Each structure stands twice: as structure tokens, then as C-alpha cells.
């Protein structure tokens, strides 16, 4: 057994000892996430190990997002103890007072980007928006940056961008205008919209789901696209002639909260502490392409070295990407989305 692996086991044992309490035995909590293969991965990575370690039962449900939490809290009918949301939703829900305060005496926040650690919400995983292109069209000389994607003379071809995720497309549009990754936020929304307007007439498809984006590329209906890294990874694994990297990727975080009025807050707090721990975070990329939010996961020895380079939140890959600013979009999402929708629908 190597030293890193043995240290990881000791750390896990210490975490379980610090969280275990006789009063918790037999407790039941309900956790809501997005369903599908992602939630199946979370069950293996987070939920089952936590239930086993703490001696509790974790029931699962699915969520459609912040509106579901708002309805439960305002209706005094909270049925979830923990739920997952997008980081911008966490920022908005926090402003509305929909969540319980988190106890960072129980939850160890070290290793998590401070931008994703708040009084009542904490990051849980990362997805990336990346640029993908077909190698049967471009060989190894395809577009590598968003400025390349916007350059229709140098890189002619059919294009697709997200028409449903304004925050993502405005972020890549800002990068396409020449901004370095550390200057994208706060986004100049009007400037980003001007950038979108420049490419708008050359976009053959505005995709509205990850599945659609993947199918457009897979079927050769487009030669290049913005796409979520998990979908891009699936195409590579299936042998599609595609290439992508995390250069100028846009990192989007998911977060977890305890809804205000949750019936099992104490058990939920300890479960959430387990979910964000390096030891369980390191499990996630063993099952799915969403990256760990805790950078210490990469120090546990649980993630194979040859896998790390393909994980969006690996330290070397994070340096290449822009992290979406949840609080910026909390304050600007509605107006920016309206302007974006009006533009792409012209």
C-alpha cells in the first residue's frame, strides 16, 4: 500500500469518528439531486458510503431546481434534508433566505474554492463548457480557442452554441472577444452580447440540452460546438472523431443546501460533511466526468494518475478555465437572459 493511499484511509477513519454519534443511529435523511447517470454516480460515490459510515438511511429524490425548494419552504412542507442546485440558484436562494446555515465546525471547507463556500451553501461538483470539433473535418488543426470558433474565415464550418444556457454562451462570447480568463468576470453583458451578435448568423444550431449538443456533433450535423465536458468525454469514449480540451473552458459548479425547515438538520449536516470530504469527493470521477469540488481529492491516491489529466477540476486543468461567478449571475441573470434570448431569436 502506498503512503498516499494509507494516509487517505486514516483520514477517512478520522472523519467517520468525528461525525459518528449514537444519537444518529437509525436516522433517515432525504437527498434530492438531478437523477440520471449523475445521481447514480453520486449514490456510489457519496450517498452509500455516507449511509454506511454514519449508520443512517439515505433516501433519494430528484429535483427540478430552486423553484422546488422555494415551494417546499414557503409552503411549510419541506420534504428534503439536502438538495443539489446550480451555484447561481444557491446564490439566489440564499438571498431569499431559503436555506439553513451550515456549520463549518462540522463541515471541513478546506480544499474548496472560497467562492463556493457560503454561510448556507457549499459547492459539490464541477461541469465544464468546452469547445469540441470534428477531427475528420479539421484533422489536428481545428479551432483551439473561442476566438478561433468566432473566426469563420479561418475555420469555416457548421457551428452550434447553447441557446438555453445564456450564462455559458455569454461567458464564451467574452472569451472570444479576447478577454483573458481572469478578466471575464464581472461579465460586460452588453459587450458579450455584441460578441454573440457577430457569430449569430454563422450558428447553425442553438442547442437546448446536453443530449442534443452531443447528437449534433456525433451525427456530423455540426463541425464544432460548445458542449459539456461529460458529453464530450462520452463521444471520445464511443470513438467519435472529435477533439476537445479544457483550454478556455467555463467551469460551472453545482452546490448543496439544507432547505430551511429540514426535519433532520443535524444528520444532514454530518452527511454533507461526508459528501464534500476529500475521501468521498475522490470517488466521483471514478463513475462520472463531473469533477470533484474539493481539490484535496487529488491528494488521496484514490484517483488513478492516468485519469487525472481528463478531469476538469484537476489543478492543472482548473488553471486553464473560467469559474462562473454565482453571485454575479444571481444579480444579473434575468436581465441578461432576456437580452440573450431576444438576440438569438431574431
Closest residue by Cα to residue 266 from 25, 11, 12: 25
pTM higher than 0.85, yes or no? yes
Residues of the chain below pLDDT 50: 3, 7, 22-23
Element of type H or E holding 166: helix 166-176
Q: So what's the pLDDT on residue 26?
A: 72
Going by their DSSP bridges, the two strands 322-323 and 203-207 should be labelled as unpaired
Closest residue by Cα to residue 47 from 271, 333, 301: 271
How many residues belong to the chain? 346
Q: So what's the pLDDT on residue 56?
A: 98
Q: So what's the pLDDT on residue 240?
A: 98
Digit-coded pLDDT (tens) for 108-153: 999 999 999 999 999 999 999 999 999 999 999 999 999 999 999 9
The CATH number given to 127-251+327-338 is 3.40.190.10
- CATH architecture of residue range(s) 3-126+252-318: 3-Layer(aba) Sandwich (3.40)
> DSSP assignment of 12-71, as one string?
HHHHHHHH--GGGTT-EEEEEE--HHHHHHHIIIIIHHHHHHHT-EEEEEE---HHHHHH
Q: Which three cell numbers stand for residue 291?
A: 469533477
Q: So what's the pLDDT on residue 23?
A: 38
Angle at 199 between CA 188 and CA 204, to 5 degrees: 130
Closest residue by Cα to residue 268 from 17, 34, 111, 100: 100
Domain ranges (residues) in the chain: 3-126+252-318, 127-251+327-338
Digit-coded pLDDT (tens) for 166-181: 999 999 999 999 999 9
Distance CA 253, CA 67 (A): 18
Q: Which three cell numbers stand for residue 12?
A: 477517512
Residue 76 and residue 96 in contact, taking contact as beta carbons nearer than 8 Å: no
* 342 burial type by CB count under 10 A (0-12 exposed, 13-18 middle, 19+ buried): exposed
Angle at 135 between CA 206 and CA 162, to 5 degrees: 15
Distance CA 121, CA 332 (A): 20
Closest residue by Cα to residue 93 from 124, 72, 62: 72
Q: 3-state DSSP call for residue 272?
A: helix
Matching CATH topology for 3-126+252-318 and 127-251+327-338? yes
Q: 3-state DSSP call for residue 81?
A: coil
Amino acid at each position: 500500500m502506498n503512503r498516499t493511499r494509507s494516509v487517505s484511509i486514516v483520514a477517512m477513519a478520522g472523519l467517520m469518528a468525528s461525525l459518528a454519534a449514537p444519537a444518529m443511529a437509525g436516522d433517515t435523511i432525504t437527498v434530492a439531486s438531478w437523477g440520471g447517470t449523475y445521481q447514480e454516480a453520486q449514490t456510489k460515490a457519496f450517498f452509500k458510503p455516507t449511509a454506511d459510515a454514519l449508520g443512517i438511511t439515505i433516501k433519494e429524490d430528484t429535483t427540478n431546481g430552486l423553484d422546488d425548494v422555494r415551494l417546499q419552504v414557503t409552503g411549510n412542507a419541506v420534504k428534503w434534508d439536502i438538495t443539489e442546485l446550480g451555484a447561481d440558484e444557491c446564490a439566489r436562494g440564499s438571498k431569499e433566505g431559503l436555506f439553513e446555515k451550515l456549520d463549518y465546525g462540522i463541515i471541513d471547507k478546506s480544499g474548496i474554492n472560497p467562492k463556493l463556500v457560503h454561510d448556507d451553501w457549499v459547492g459539490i461538483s464541477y461541469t465544464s463548457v468546452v469547445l469540441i470539433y470534428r477531427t475528420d473535418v479539421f484533422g489536428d488543426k481545428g479551432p483551439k480557442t473561442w476566438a478561433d470558433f468566432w473566426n469563420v474565415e479561418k475555420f469555416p464550418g457548421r457551428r452550434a452554441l447553447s441557446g438555453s444556457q445564456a450564462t455559458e454562451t455569454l461567458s464564451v462570447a467574452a472569451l472570444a472577444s479576447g478577454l483573458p480568463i481572469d478578466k471575464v468576470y464581472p461579465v460586460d453583458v452588453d459587450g458579450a452580447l455584441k460578441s454573440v451578435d457577430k457569430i449569430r448568423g454563422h450558428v447553425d444550431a442553438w442547442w437546448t440540452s446536453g443530449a442534443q449538443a452531443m447528437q449534433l456533433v456525433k451525427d456530423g450535423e455540426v463541425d464544432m460546438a460548445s458542449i459539456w465536458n461529460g458529453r464530450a468525454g462520452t463521444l471520445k469514449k464511443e470513438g467519435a472523431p472529435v477533439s476537445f480540451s479544457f483550454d478556455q473552458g467555463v467551469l460551472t459548479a453545482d452546490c448543496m443546501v439544507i432547505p430551511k425547515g429540514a426535519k433532520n438538520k443535524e444528520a444532514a449536516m454530518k452527511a454533507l460533511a461526508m459528501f464534500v470530504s476529500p475521501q468521498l469527493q475522490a470517488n466521483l470521477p471514478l463513475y462520472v466526468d463531473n469533477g470533484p469540488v474539493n481539490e484535496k481529492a487529488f491528494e488521496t491516491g484514490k484517483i488513478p494518475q492516468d485519469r487525472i489529466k481528463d478531469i476538469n477540476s484537476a489543478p492543472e486543468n482548473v488553471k486553464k478555465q473560467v469559474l462562473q461567478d454565482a453571485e454575479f449571475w444571481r444579480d444579473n441573470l434575468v436581465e441578461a437572459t432576456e437580452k440573450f434570448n431576444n438576440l438569438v431569436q431574431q
